[in-house]
Chain A
């Protein structure tokens, strides 16, 4: 390829990033005005820009006022754009680790713990089994089950605040349980990778152990010292560079140890988030994450949706079954958990409904499974499309169900 061709390609990527950000923010804020999670608008922006939307115009020539115009060849599923989206997943996990507050976890009461456990086990078991019965392999089924595990707490929190019910037993139980299942989801993702690799399970276990000892425990011990030392570097934003490099190194070594980059990014977030001097640097990291890479990830998700898979009855049936299982399994699982913790029937139902929405974590797990090569080809398309529909359906139905349950 000549230099000029390379240059054109670079600027096509630059243009696609610009359009992705504009569309993501535009549709994100439109959806926000409708009091729904902006992420859904960002995914829609991706769908609109992708191959099944404006993407059909890519590379075509059109004539406008008798002037022929060659439209640029933009792709939101290209290798370069996928790379940016994958950085978005890592940033999302890194920021989650940074903001997670372990003293909140300690405060979590017995009901939250039981609800979280029930809410993890039931969707995982039912999701995996139903996927297997519908013809997926156990391994892919496990990935599907895992996508159903983590609740997105943003949706119920908004509704509970509106209803002035946040500071109640139900509200606090949902909040506590939702942190737990996010963390459990991240940890369990390792198991999906473990099943995938032909590697000896004990060897994998050993590598995971070494990773956590080296990177989490030693990391937590020395991070304050590293920050103190870094004060000697007087270059602008040197602390930010330090944090970003720790984050990327953790992701790399986690990937190398067979743990998945997202887990490494999350652990890096926990370690840096605990450092006393990290307070200001978190804002800088958010600038990168929320301002650039994370919206690109959601646009990438949208652009990767292939609506044509829904032309067969089987595909529609599969998606409908998974969404149904996703909803029912949370109500049953969290319900059993709530009952075991001694909550009343009505409260267990309210908690179960509050735990229905899936959003960020489901998309991250689907995205990471695709980028790690676990989900490929038609099955990958099917699961991604199912996950997106799952997030839309569950986040849309929860507010009205939750309001009704409080009447």
Chain B
């Protein structure tokens, strides 16, 4: 029997399921102090970095993994070439969000389908994607949220219901 629920789920646009409550999403400016970042990450898994909170232009992301690189003792690749990665809390080379964030961000647009989002998450091994419209951060879509939405739908809630 064909699972209509999942096919409908796949076809939904991101904007129907994304979290667009920007006040609820961890967002910081690029010159935010590392101590505040640690504070946020002690409760969250990731932070989006924007140029200014007013413009909300997305320029980076910080995840727990970035903290692992700077928190753990420094270990160099056997063949150092060019500038080695010297980001380290121990050696005081990390001060602001800009020093630690990844600038390569895989994004999605509000009108893309959930099926493409799932494929992208799998391809790049990501659990969260920022939703970006004209370079501006408008929300986020996380695997956690997709699971939650799909589960609720199996319990006869509407897929598009808020919350």
Taking Cβ atoms with an 8 Å cutoff, the residues of A that contact B are 28, 32, 37-39, 92, 95-96, 99-101, 104, 152-154, 157-158, 161, 164, 166-167, 175, 178-179, 182-183, 231, 234, 239, 275-280, 290, 294, 360-361
Is B80 a contact partner of A279 (Cβ separation < 8 A)? no
Is B124 a contact partner of A167 (Cβ separation < 8 A)? no
Known: A164-B91, A276-B104, A276-B106. A157 touches B124 (CB 8 A): no
Is A361 a contact partner of B78 (Cβ separation < 8 A)? no
Known: A276-B104, A279-B102, A279-B104. A100 touches B84 (CB 8 A): no
Chain B, interface SS category: loop
Chain A, interface SS category: helix
* Candidates B76, B88, B91, B120; contact of A154 at CB < 8 Å: B76
Is A166 a contact partner of B81 (Cβ separation < 8 A)? no
Chain B 120-141 per-residue mask, 1 if CB under 8 angstroms from chain A, else 0: 1001110000000000000000
Is B83 a contact partner of A175 (Cβ separation < 8 A)? yes
Residues of B within 8 A of A39 (CB): 78-79
Q: Distance (Å) between the CB of B11 and the closest chain A CB?
A: 18
Is A361 a contact partner of B81 (Cβ separation < 8 A)? yes
Measured in the bound complex, the distance between the Cα atoms of B124 and A275 in whole Å is 13
Measured in the bound complex, the distance between the Cα atoms of B80 and A164 in whole Å is 19
Residues of A within 8 A of B119 (CB): 231, 234
Size category, B interface: 20 to 34
Known: A164-B91, A276-B105. A99 touches B82 (CB 8 A): yes
Measured in the bound complex, the distance between the Cα atoms of B93 and A115 in whole Å is 22
Residues of B within 8 A of A278 (CB): 104
Is B80 a contact partner of A153 (Cβ separation < 8 A)? yes
Residues of A within 8 A of B104 (CB): 275-279
Verify if B74 is at the interface (C-beta below 8 Å from A).
yes
Chain B 86-128 per-residue mask, 1 if CB under 8 angstroms from chain A, else 0: 1010011100000000101111000000000001100111000
Q: Distance (Å) between the CB of A38 and the closest chain B CB?
A: 4
Q: Distance (Å) between the CB of A113 and the closest chain B CB?
A: 14
Known: A276-B104, A276-B105, A279-B124. A360 touches B93 (CB 8 A): no
Q: Distance (Å) between the CB of A244 and the closest chain B CB?
A: 17
Measured in the bound complex, the distance between the Cα atoms of B77 and A28 in whole Å is 12
Chain A residue at minimum C-beta to C-beta distance from B73: A161
* Candidates A104, A166, A290; contact of B91 at CB < 8 Å: A166
Q: Distance (Å) between the CB of A19 and the closest chain B CB?
A: 19
Is A360 a contact partner of B106 (Cβ separation < 8 A)? no
Is A154 a contact partner of B80 (Cβ separation < 8 A)? yes
Measured in the bound complex, the distance between the Cα atoms of B60 and A237 in whole Å is 25
Residue among A28, A158, A161, A294 with the highest chain B CB neighbour number at 10 A = A161
30 A-B contacts (beta carbon < 8 Å): A32-B78, A39-B79, A92-B79, A92-B81, A99-B82, A153-B80, A153-B82, A153-B83, A154-B76, A161-B74, A161-B88, A167-B93, A178-B82, A178-B83, A179-B82, A182-B81, A183-B82, A231-B120, A234-B119, A275-B104, A276-B106, A276-B107, A277-B104, A279-B106, A279-B124, A280-B123, A280-B125, A290-B79, A360-B79, A360-B81
Is B106 a contact partner of A277 (Cβ separation < 8 A)? yes
